[in-house]
Structures are given as structure tokens and as C-alpha cells.
Chain A
């Protein structure tokens, strides 16, 4: 089955911009969705359908997609953005279960 690959860790200075990427064959057909997980908490959906934000997610979170790569960008990172970010997609058709990346630990310096 397909896999989604993420860098294990990324850091960003407070107030700067950071991009987290996700690579996988399934991303050529399905946009990545992105989940934020803070220590001791359940994951929270922060982006879907490439660049849509659920209600309550700050505008500094944005997404993009090109070929086999999806990306999450935080413009003006805040201390509260420090978390692990997981991408997810679907292996093939609709009504298929989600496929998760390994997660990227974002450190805000």
C-alpha cells in the first residue's frame, strides 16, 4: 500500500514562516489533510482539501499541493503552534480509510 513521508522534525523562529511537507503517491489523486497534536491531547484537524481551514483554525495556517507533495505553511509561527503535525490522505478511491504520515515535530524557537 501507499505511504506518506514526512521530515521527523522542523524548527522555526518565533514569528517566522515554516513549511512542513508530505510526500506520497496517493497525493497525486487526493489532497492531504493535516492534523495538529499537542502533548497529551488528541489530534485536531487544521487543514483539509489542500487549503481549507476548519472553523477556529487561525488564518496563519495554509496549505498547498503539487504532484506527489502536500505542504502545510505557518506564516508567523506562534509559541502555541509547537506540536506534532501529521498529514493524511487516502490510498485510492472514496470510502477508503485514511493513510497517515509519520508526523513532523515542530519546534518554535
Chain B
């Protein structure tokens, strides 16, 4: 079974840091690009960050560029999102997604990040 499992979500104060992890299984992890997508409460899907299979190319949404860092460890079948200088409007469920030309799938179940004092 192809599966993605996120972890690391928590309640953090504004200005704090958090690292999210996503573990993949059931597929050759090192051959797929990966994406982080978030969803604020009651809102739509927002693309956050993307990394190619080798990790050599990364991309960020304007809303997180300079504060978030995406990286991966193919030896551990995992992708990470380092989030620094967190703001209240970063509060969301964060999803890890496998990228394919045939659509983004699967999605993990998500991990909740709450930024609040």
C-alpha cells in the first residue's frame, strides 16, 4: 500500500519553530517529487513547498519563502518541512503529497500546526 504519514504538528507561539516530517512507504520514494500543502481552518488548499526527487530543486510559495525550508532524506524515505518565524496565519493542517504527472496522490492524513500565544 502506498502511504504517507505526517508528524510533528504542535501548538507553538508566534515566532517559534517547528519541523514537520513525512514518511513514505510502499513506493520507490527516491523517484518522486514531493509537495507540502496546507489548509487553514475553513479555507481551501494552499501550496507551500515542493522538492524534486533528488532534492536538487526546491520551490516555495511567496507566503513562506525565507521562513520555511524543505528537504528530504531518501535513505529514510522521508521529506521534512522546517518552519521558522511562525506566524498566527501559518495555523493550518499540513499535508504531504506525492507528485506525479498523473495527479498528486496519495495525500497523507495531515498534521495540525497551531500558532498561538
What residues of chain A have their CB less than 8 Å away from a CB belonging to chain B? 33, 35, 37, 42-45, 47-49, 52, 54, 84, 86, 88, 94-103
Contacts and interface: CB of A to CB of B under 8 A. Distances in A.
A54 to B, nearest CB: 7
Contacts of A47: 103
Given A95-B57, A97-B59, A98-B99, A45 B45 contact: no
B103 A33 contact: yes
Main SS of chain A's interface residues?
A: strand
A100 B52 CA distance: 19
Contacts of B46: 100
Q: How large is the interface on B (under 10, 10 to 19, 20 to 34, 35 or more residues)?
A: 20 to 34
Interface in B72-117: 95, 99-110
B33 interface: yes
Interface string B46-58: 1101101000010
A97 B57 CA distance: 11
B21 interface: no
A95 B33 CA distance: 8
A86 B106 CA distance: 15
A99 B37 CA distance: 10
B107 A44 contact: yes
19 contacts: A33-B104, A35-B45, A42-B108, A42-B109, A43-B45, A44-B105, A44-B107, A45-B105, A48-B100, A48-B103, A54-B103, A88-B104, A94-B101, A97-B59, A97-B99, A98-B47, A98-B99, A100-B45, A102-B44
A48 B102 contact: yes
A97 B45 CA distance: 13
Contact of B44 (A45, A54, A97, A100): A100
Nearest to B108: A42
Contact of B104 (A45, A49, A52, A102): A45
Instruction: Give 4 nearest A-B pairs by CB, closest first.
Output: A48-B103, A97-B50, A33-B103, A45-B105
B93 to A, nearest CB: 8
